[in-house]
C-alpha cells in the first residue's frame, strides 16, 4: 500500500495529513503557542511502517533496510539496518552513501534523519561516549525486532489514528 507523502519534500505524512519533516514548509507551525493537551493533535506520532519515507529513502521492515530507489540503477540501493550496531557502523553507512555519484545533499540529510528516527543514536549508541570513551554497541537484530514488533497493520493504524487508506 502506498502511503501519502509530502509533495514538497517526499517525507511520509502524519495522521493529520501534515508533513513529518520539521525542515519542510508543510510541517505544522502554529502561529500561536499550543497547549500541552493539543501537542498530539498538532504533531501526532508517525510510528514505523512498511514504506515510511524520508525523501527518497523508504523503510522496508520486511528487508530491515532503508531503500533509495531514485538512483541510476533499477535495483534500489539498500542500507542494511541489521548491520548498524554502534555509532561507527552508522557513520560508515553515511560516508558510504555520500560517496555515491547519484547522492545529493538532501539524500544524505534524509538518511541521517531516518537513522536518527529509527535508532535514536544519542540515546542508543553515544551515551557514555565522552572524553575518548567508546559508545555503546547493540544487537541490531534484536533492537529492530523490538522496534518493529507491532506488525505493519498495527503500526499503520496507529500512525493514521485508526484510519485506513
pLDDT category at 106 given cuts 50, 70, 90 is very high
Domain presence at residue 22: no
Buried b (16+ CB within 10 A) or exposed e, 4-31: ebbeebbbbbbbeebbbbeebebbbeee
- Chain position carrying cell 558510504: 96
98 vs 22 pLDDT, higher one: 98
Closest CA to 52 of 100, 98, 96, 117: 117
Contacts 24+ apart (CB under 8 A), 159-162: 159/14, 159/15, 159/44, 159/45, 159/46, 159/47, 159/49, 159/52, 160/15, 161/15, 161/16, 161/44
Is residue 126 exposed (0-12), middle (13-18) or buried (19+ Cβ within 10 Å)? Answer: middle
State percent of the chain over pLDDT 90.
Answer: 37
Q: What pLDDT does residue 60 have? A: 92
Q: Which three cell numbers stand for residue 17?
A: 495529513
Domain presence at residue 52: yes
Domain presence at residue 94: yes
Gap between the Cα atoms of 139 and 58, Å rounded: 22
Specify the range with the lowest mean pLDDT, choosing from 54-63, 90-99, 104-113, 119-128: 119-128
Gap between the Cα atoms of 66 and 101, Å rounded: 18
Report helix angle 105-119 to 87-98, nearest 10: 160
Alpha-carbon distance values, 165 to 1, 2, 4, 156 (Å): 8, 9, 9, 9
CB 59 within 8 A of CB 50: yes
> Which of 20-24, 78-82, 132-136, 138-142: highest mean pLDDT?
78-82
Average pLDDT value for residue range 65-90: 88
Domain presence at residue 147: yes
Domain presence at residue 27: no
Average pLDDT value for residue range 91-114: 94
Domain presence at residue 11: no
Average predicted confidence (pLDDT) for the chain: 81
Give me the domain span that covers residue 133: 36-159
Q: What pLDDT does residue 163 have? A: 40
Q: What pLDDT does residue 155 have? A: 41
Q: What pLDDT does residue 153 have? A: 44
Number of domains, the chain: 1
pLDDT category at 17 given cuts 50, 70, 90 is confident
pLDDT category at 162 given cuts 50, 70, 90 is very low
Amino acid at each position: 500500500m502506498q502511503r501519502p507523502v509530502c509533495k514538497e519534500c517526499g517525507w511520509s505524512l502524519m495522521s493529520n495529513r501534515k508533513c513529518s519533516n520539521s525542515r519542510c514548509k508543510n510541517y505544522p507551525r502554529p502561529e500561536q503557542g499550543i497547549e500541552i493537551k493539543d501537542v498530539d493533535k498538532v504533531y501526532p506520532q508517525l510510528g514505523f511502517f512498511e514504506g515510511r519515507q524520508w525523501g527518497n529513502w523508504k523503510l522496508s521492515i520486511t528487508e530491515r533496510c532503508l531503500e533509495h530507489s531514485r538512483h541510476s540503477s533499477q535495483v534500489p540501493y539498500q542500507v542494511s539496518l541489521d548491520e548498524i550496531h554502534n555509532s561507527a557502523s552508522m557513520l560508515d553507512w553515511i560516508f558510504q552513501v555520500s560517496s555515491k555519484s547519484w547522492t545529493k545533499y538532501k539524500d544524505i540529510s534524509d538518511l541521517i534523519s531516518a537513522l536518527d528516527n529509527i535508532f535514536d543514536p544519542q540515546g542508543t549508541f553515544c551515551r557514555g561516549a565522552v572524553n575518548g570513551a567508546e559508545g555503546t554497541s547493540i544487537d541490531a537484530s534484536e533492537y529492530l525486532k523490538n522496534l518493529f514488533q507491532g506488525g505493519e497493520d498495527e503500526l499503520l493504524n496507529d500512525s493514521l489514528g485508526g484510519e485506513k487508506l
